[in-house]
């Protein structure tokens, strides 16, 4: 059906057509969500390369009916993915995808107002500013803090490094050194290079037995660089690492950074939102002292992918990096938050509406309850998994992620243990109820479970424990006892 057959130059649809198309899409999307419970936790990747090759196509000259496009999308392509939205997704760091956020995107995309500069849609930009202030308050940052929505944590790191570099190094960037731990997310090193800090200026600080950055090693590395004439300027600690969920000693790192005049960034892409829950704040002690903080609303705030965020304690430093003027733009104003003054984008989507509509609809109390529940479920699951014969718990949950490996008298080499642990993760996932992934951490391959999908409830966590127990027993039996 060509909706504009009567007028080939028009891309407009009638209200009736728009309504029908909208209903069709909502029906499909809701049916998809309603079936997630029954869908396998991981997609079917059989012959996926052949499928992708077959999908290559030229731009269509003529239009096609909507239904004919939605059929393969929902029936063939969407299912052949990691089961990220499903309740049994405990792999990597789970994402979100709360429904109201999709409705907010629909409104943002149909209204299509310009939120890059304050003057173009002042009230809408104010809604986004409100949500950034909510993030600030939940993280107990001061009034001076300003934030920025980014596509994800990676670009939040990039903006943080660029702001710190500008503030601390000025034009002399080659001498600047930056510190991460061996457990830090790889996107920081990548962001550093994008921000002009080459790999040979990034130091990997060793961790302790609980995978937390060693502040004594950090201190020594900073001293060594200073002695070599370099200019240490920035330290990244992590509030919940991707490998094991470790929370670095944030207070001690903050103390060191204060003494040494270093910019302290906390990577809270996975863990920061647990700070919304007052009872859990002690787990993240020191987080509010950071000079800047990465948050990923598409993880801990259960937003759809594409929602990252950065907070900078002294918002003027973020503004100093990004603020600019042009003859074709209105003059900058300083009373109201203005996205283009605090971030690299000019034309952009309207990420603040996702957060605003969802939080207004659900209320913050439900978020706190959901986050507290995810942590409680992880603590419960870790206790159960630790009881499984052959399991050695390497990292009990500091937040909602734990890591472990398999051992037995017959699995007596590191290689055998690594292979068994790797097989355990694959076989648990192959059962179809839950999806889990492991990680190579130094010499060891660790199995891991991360509870952060808002759809994961007690039933799926129990299924996860059961399937780990069953496959661990099978693997140990195959290894010969
Ligand atoms: C997810 C994650 C990142 C990367 O964030 P993206 O949103 O994927 O770009 C960085 N650090 C940690 C700890 C993470 O969990």
| Cα(379)–Cα(374) distance, integer angstroms | 9
Tell whether ligand 1 has an atom less than 6 A from the beta carbon of residue 267: yes
pLDDT tens readout for residues 76-85: 999 999 999 9
| Cα(328)–Cα(438) distance, integer angstroms | 52
Interval between CA 154 and ligand 1 midpoint (Å) = 6
Q: Is 47 left (phi over 0), alpha (psi -120 to 50) or beta?
A: left
* pLDDT number for residue 6: 72
Interval between CA 438 and ligand 1 midpoint (Å) = 16
Tell whether ligand 1 has an atom less than 6 A from the beta carbon of residue 270: yes
Distance of CA 306 to the CA centre of its chain: 9
* pLDDT number for residue 407: 96
Query: Is pLDDT of 119 > 90?
Result: yes
| Cα(150)–Cα(137) distance, integer angstroms | 19
Q: Which atom of ligand 1 is nearest to the CA of 270?
A: 15
* 448, two tokens: 């891991």
| Cα(460)–Cα(88) distance, integer angstroms | 6
Residues 6+ apart with CB under 8 A from 388: 468, 469, 472, 473
In the three-class reduction of DSSP (H, G, I as helix; E, B as strand; rest coil), residue 462 is classed as: helix
Interval between CA 299 and ligand 1 midpoint (Å) = 9
* pLDDT number for residue 5: 57
Mean pLDDT of 353-377: 98
Q: Where are the beta strands (DSSP E) in 153-218?
A: 176-181, 202-205
Q: Which atom of ligand 1 is nearest to the CA of 156?
A: 9
Q: Where are the beta strands (DSSP E) in 82-218?
A: 146-150, 176-181, 202-205
Q: Which has more pLDDT, 326 or 227? A: 227
Interval between CA 64 and ligand 1 midpoint (Å) = 38
How far is the CA of 384 from the CAs of 337, 380, 428, 456, 468, in angstroms?
48, 6, 16, 17, 10
pLDDT tens readout for residues 234-266: 999 999 999 999 999 999 999 999 999 999 999
Mean pLDDT of 352-367: 98
Name the DSSP class of 77: I
| Best CA proximity match to 355, nearest among 91, 31, 133, 183 | 133
Q: Whose CA is nearest to atom 4 of ligand 1?
A: 153
For 325, other C-beta atoms within 10 Å of its C-beta total 9
Per cent of the chain over pLDDT 90 is 94
pTM of the model: 0.97
pLDDT tens readout for residues 160-172: 999 999 999 999 9
Tell whether ligand 1 has an atom less than 6 A from the beta carbon of residue 238: yes
Query: Is pLDDT of 387 > 90?
Result: yes
To test the pocket of ligand 1, the residue of 97, 185, 304 to mutate (highest count of ligand atoms within 8 Å of its CB) is 185
Query: Is pLDDT of 3 > 60?
Result: no
pLDDT tens readout for residues 138-160: 999 999 999 999 999 999 999 99
* pLDDT number for residue 449: 98
Beta bridge partners of 147: 311
Confidence band (pLDDT; 50, 70, 90) for 51?
very high
In the three-class reduction of DSSP (H, G, I as helix; E, B as strand; rest coil), residue 293 is classed as: strand
Query: Is pLDDT of 1 > 70?
Result: no
Interval between CA 269 and ligand 1 midpoint (Å) = 5
| Best CA proximity match to 338, nearest among 118, 130, 113, 126 | 118
Mean pLDDT of 217-227: 98
* 155, two tokens: 């670009």
To test the pocket of ligand 1, the residue of 84, 92, 93, 309 to mutate (highest count of ligand atoms within 8 Å of its CB) is 93
pLDDT tens readout for residues 430-469: 999 999 999 999 999 999 999 999 999 999 999 999 999 9
Q: Where are the beta strands (DSSP E) in 417-463?
A: 438-441, 444-450
Interval between CA 445 and ligand 1 midpoint (Å) = 20
pLDDT tens readout for residues 263-284: 999 999 999 999 999 999 999 9
How far is the CA of 288 from the CAs of 62, 111, 284, 313, in angstroms?
55, 36, 9, 9
Q: Is 317 left (phi over 0), alpha (psi -120 to 50) or beta?
A: alpha
Mean pLDDT of 81-105: 97
| Cα(401)–Cα(243) distance, integer angstroms | 9
Let me know: does 262 contact 176? Beta carbons within 8 Å. no
Q: Which atom of ligand 1 is nearest to the CA of 155?
A: 9
* pLDDT number for residue 292: 98
Let me know: does 377 contact 94? Beta carbons within 8 Å. no
What is the residue-wise DSSP string for 326-373?
-TTSPPP-SSS--HHHHSS-SS---HHHHHHHHHHHH-HHHHHHHHHH
Let me know: does 214 contact 224? Beta carbons within 8 Å. no
Tell whether ligand 1 has an atom less than 6 A from the beta carbon of residue 188: no
Tell whether ligand 1 has an atom less than 6 A from the beta carbon of residue 269: yes
Tell whether ligand 1 has an atom less than 6 A from the beta carbon of residue 86: no
* pLDDT number for residue 146: 98
Residue carrying structure tokens 């990747």: 45
Residues 6+ apart with CB under 8 A from 22: 106
Beta bridge partners of 203: 179
pLDDT tens readout for residues 403-412: 999 999 999 9
Tell whether ligand 1 has an atom less than 6 A from the beta carbon of residue 308: yes
Element (H, E) at 393: strand 391-395
* pLDDT number for residue 185: 97
Let me know: does 157 contact 186? Beta carbons within 8 Å. no
| Best CA proximity match to 357, nearest among 297, 310, 313, 312 | 297
Q: Whose CA is nearest to atom 2 of ligand 1?
A: 269
Interval between CA 43 and ligand 1 midpoint (Å) = 22
Interval between CA 295 and ligand 1 midpoint (Å) = 9
Confidence band (pLDDT; 50, 70, 90) for 481?
low
Per cent of the chain over pLDDT 70 is 99
Query: Is pLDDT of 210 > 70?
Result: yes
What phi, psi does 234 have (nearest 5°)?
Answer: -150, 140
Terminal-residue alpha carbon distance, the chain: 64
Mean pLDDT of 60-84: 97
Tell whether ligand 1 has an atom less than 6 A from the beta carbon of residue 296: yes
Tell whether ligand 1 has an atom less than 6 A from the beta carbon of residue 187: yes
Q: Whose CA is nearest to atom 1 of ligand 1?
A: 269
Confidence band (pLDDT; 50, 70, 90) for 480?
confident
Query: Is pLDDT of 382 > 90?
Result: yes
| Cα(267)–Cα(247) distance, integer angstroms | 10
pLDDT tens readout for residues 178-207: 999 999 999 999 999 999 999 999 999 999
Interval between CA 414 and ligand 1 midpoint (Å) = 29
Tell whether ligand 1 has an atom less than 6 A from the beta carbon of residue 153: yes
Q: Whose CA is nearest to atom 12 of ligand 1?
A: 269
Mean pLDDT of 102-106: 98
Interval between CA 184 and ligand 1 midpoint (Å) = 10
């Amino acid at each position: 059906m060509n909706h504009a057959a009567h007028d080939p130059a028009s891309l407009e649809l009638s209200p009736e057509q728009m309504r029908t198309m909208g209903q069709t899409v909502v029906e499909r999307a809701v049916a998809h969500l309603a079936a997630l419970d029954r869908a396998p936790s991981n997609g079917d990747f059989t012959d996926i390369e052949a499928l992708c090759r077959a999908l290559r196509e030229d731009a269509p000259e003529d239009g096609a009916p909507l239904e004919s496009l939605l059929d393969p999308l929902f029936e063939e392509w969407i299912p052949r993915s990691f089961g990220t939205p499903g309740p049994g997704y405990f792999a990597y760091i789970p994402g979100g995808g709360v429904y109201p956020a999709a409705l907010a995107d629909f409104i943002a995309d149909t209204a299509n107002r310009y939120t890059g500069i304050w003057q173009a849609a002042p009230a809408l930009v104010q809604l986004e500013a409100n949500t950034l202030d909510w993030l600030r308050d939940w993280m107990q940052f001061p009034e001076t803090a300003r934030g920025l929505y980014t596509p994800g944590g990676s670009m939040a790191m990039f903006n943080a490094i660029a702001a710190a570099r500008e503030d601390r190094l000025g034009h002399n960037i080659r001498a600047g050194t930056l510190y991460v731990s061996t457990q830090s997310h790889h996107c920081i090193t990548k962001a550093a290079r994008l921000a002009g800090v080459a790999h040979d200026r990034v130091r990997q600080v060793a961790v302790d037995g609980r995978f937390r950055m060693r502040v004594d090693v950090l201190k020594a590395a900073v001293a060594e660089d200073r002695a070599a004439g370099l200019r240490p300027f920035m330290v990244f600690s992590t509030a919940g690492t991707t490998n094991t969920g470790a929370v670095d000693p944030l207070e001690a790192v903050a103390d060191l950074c204060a003494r040494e005049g270093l910019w302290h960034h906390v990577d809270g892409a996975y863990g920061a939102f647990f700070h919304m829950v007052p009872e859990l704040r002690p787990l993240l002690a020191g987080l509010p002292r950071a000079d800047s903080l990465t948050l990923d609303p598409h993880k801990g705030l259960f937003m759809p992918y594409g929602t990252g965020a950065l907070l900078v304690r002294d918002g003027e430093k973020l503004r100093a990096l990004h603020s600019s003027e042009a003859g074709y733009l209105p003059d900058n104003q300083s009373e109201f938050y203005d996205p283009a003054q605090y971030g690299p984008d000019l034309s952009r989507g309207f990420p603040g509406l996702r957060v605003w509509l969802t939080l207004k609809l659900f209320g913050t109390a439900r978020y706190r309850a959901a986050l507290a529940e995810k942590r409680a479920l992880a603590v419960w699951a870790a206790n159960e998994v630790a009881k499984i014969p052959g399991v050695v718990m390497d990292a009990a949950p500091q937040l909602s992620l734990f890591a472990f490996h398999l051992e037995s008298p017959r699995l007596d080499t590191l290689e055998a243990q690594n292979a068994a642990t790797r097989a355990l993760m694959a076989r648990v996932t192959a059962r179809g109820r839950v999806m889990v992934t492991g990680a190579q951490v130094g010499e060891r391959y660790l199995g891991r479970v991360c509870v952060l999908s808002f759809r994961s409830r007690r039933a799926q966590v129990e299924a996860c424990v059961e399937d780990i127990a069953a496959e661990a027993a099978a693997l140990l039996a195959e290894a010969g006892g």
